Chains A and B, each alone.
Chain A
Amino acid sequence: MKVSLRRFASLALVAACVAALAAAVAAARTTRSTADIRNGGTLTIGLAEEPDALDPTLARTFVGRIVFLAMCEKLYDLDSHLNIVPQLATALPTVSKDKLTYTIKVRSGVQFNDGTAFNAAAVKTTLERDLTLKGSVRASEISPINSVDAPNATTVVLHLKSPYSPLTAQLADRAGMVLSPKAIASGGTFAQNPVCVGPFMFKDRVAGDHITLVKSPYYYDKAKVHLASVVYRIMTDPSSRTQALRAGDIQVEDRIQSTDVPTLQNDSGVTVKKAITIGYQGLTINIGNKNGLLKPYSNVGSDIAKSQYLRTAFDAALDRTTINKVVFGGLNQPDCYPIAPVSPWYKPTTQGLACDLHANVNLAKQLVKASGIANPSVNLMLGGTDPVTARLGQVIQSMESAVGIKVTVTPTQFTTALNRADAGNFDAFAVGWSGRVDPDGNIFGFVATPGTLNDSGFSSSKLDYILNGARKSLTTKARTTLYRAAMQIIHRQRPLIYLYHPVNYYGVTKKVDGVQIYGDGLIRVNAAGYTK
């Protein structure tokens, strides 16, 4: 058919327009996700516990780390796979051949939230404060650091006394948070007005009630920050936390209790996020803690301390799957090891070990008999007087009585329990650990002779040698081999009986987007905001 030139031209024009339109729509669709979040608004988060001092040098609570995430950036951070990535640093540290010198390059053009400049000198000041401030909790975490240099504004050099492979992981936690030297020098209490580098800055705090942060005008990446402010409300009662989320009083709920998870999963206005943590919960058995923590250890002589058979029987009597089902509604992750399955270290270090998640009642009974102890009894101290911990105690008591071990349960207030544990005043203690990325963090402190958390009083020179070696070696392969050997010793002697890894559930209202939770269990809201 004959088509006139004009008609062809108009057709082509139309086609071009349509194509352009389609392209524009396609382009808009891909950028839709970030354009979907509007700027402004206050995000209220219901925290399960209260943070302690907002001073990274002195801070000790897990929950404090959640608040720090929004207001105190670190040299390094974790990504969603729990790999260490640079944050205020620009790359992973360069380590010298003798493993005693770490060179870290840091960002330039960055300001603290009081307008002063961030530089290597500030990092030096902070690290020296961490090492020398009286009462510093970070000192033992980075103790191998001998001195810190800042040859220029973007280079930090750490000189170590001895090799220490967990160092980079420590710099991805509170030890790596950089504080404003001006705020430190001002003489007041840093915790009352903390200043760091961060997307949000501290505004006010009422003890036991809330902490308010506001968007920082100084942050180097502030274009990515949507919220005008973040309020952390302390809501220790889990039932009211859930009610508050459902009512819209808070937009994010920290650690939903297991009995509320199904309800929230059915709630159409809420997204339930799951984070399989790197921590563990278990039973610490007092084997050698006779005179107190870090005093000379010798067997305490209780039924369960004397007999390895009895400890193995105790373990075999416990049905970890049933415990999980009855006490936690099946929501946690039953396991026999301190390292969590989400950690890349898990598989290689537990290879060859057997973990039975079900009880072996017959084996347990035989082992009780083999122990030679008639009417064995164990006093189980619980680290809390809340109903969930009480349930755990009673289930354990029930299961042990089925194999002939009499368990008396002593619910104890948490800090009193820690005191008693440190003093060696217990048989078994139900307690957990929030977990560290590096396997050293989950093992050394608890079973090494100089370990500052070794309430079990466990002392094995062989294990000490292995764990020290694992600290000094830098290759993953060498460390894996060593930690596998360590696990075998721990699994055989049972200074700790590990029960499960907590799986934390968080609730986020569907009105909010961009809230992330990684395996460290910390709530990240830096890029979050209300959807349009």
Chain B
Amino acid sequence: MNEKAEELNRVEKKDLFGSGHRACGGCGQALAARLVHDAAGENTIACVATGCLEVFSSPYPDPCWRIPFLHSLFENPAAVASGVEAAYKALKKGPVNIIAQAGDGSTADIGFQCISGMFERGHNVLYVCYDNEAYMNTGVQRSSFTPYGAWTSTTPMGNPTRKKNLPLIAADHGIPYVATATVDDFRDLQRKVKTALSIEGPKYIHILVPCPLGWGHPGELTVKICRLAKDTGLFPIFEIIDGKVTNVKKIPVKVPVEEYLKPQGRFRFLFKKGVPTEKVAEIQEIANQNIERFNL
């Protein structure tokens, strides 16, 4: 039993998502991709959606992947992964880890149909959503994961709607494992990937990945911003195992949302000459609701 725990908690660095990709400096998604695939190991097939990840990682002739990857379209990695899984079953090959992955736009909007279908059919596929809270690759347009009040190029006055809660929607499909994670706590993220891959059935991991360009902060603050997202309560960290919310990461010292909003250029319109507007209080309310709901 202890060996298993050791294996689960061991930090992996194999660079299966290698150097030479064209991500911006400090890209949270590049970091997350490497952490996820190193945790999954070499016996993995990645089904990737069009988006920042695909575009910066797989140009011909020098993709940075060291494990096989399959990319077709923007909205279908879940369906493609279902096909790969079905093929492996039919051909009696494997076992193999199949990770379908996409950004927030592909997961929550245009690809919602596909992942709902994949979850419902019960394929043995891990779905990873890299949530950078907008359609970053096409120029920072709004998605249904864009948080309230954020500037995007299609909501220049601040996003008027609240972030869709996909982890809960995924859990309600009856899948055995759902988790949220951030890139600053790499041990936690890798443990969650390994845990997920040890369970049969559809799994969903939702990773918050700061985008320096789209969020308007310097690349070096990526890890710090993740921490602030957690510590303000705006991004709760938890697992849902067989429908029950568990392993909620409690916040040791609650941080007011201003500290999270101020360093990001996309929230600059929430402050007039450094003074927060009423929107900030509304965002604080969202954070408070999260804290209460998940008992952070």
Say whether A associates with B.
Answer: no
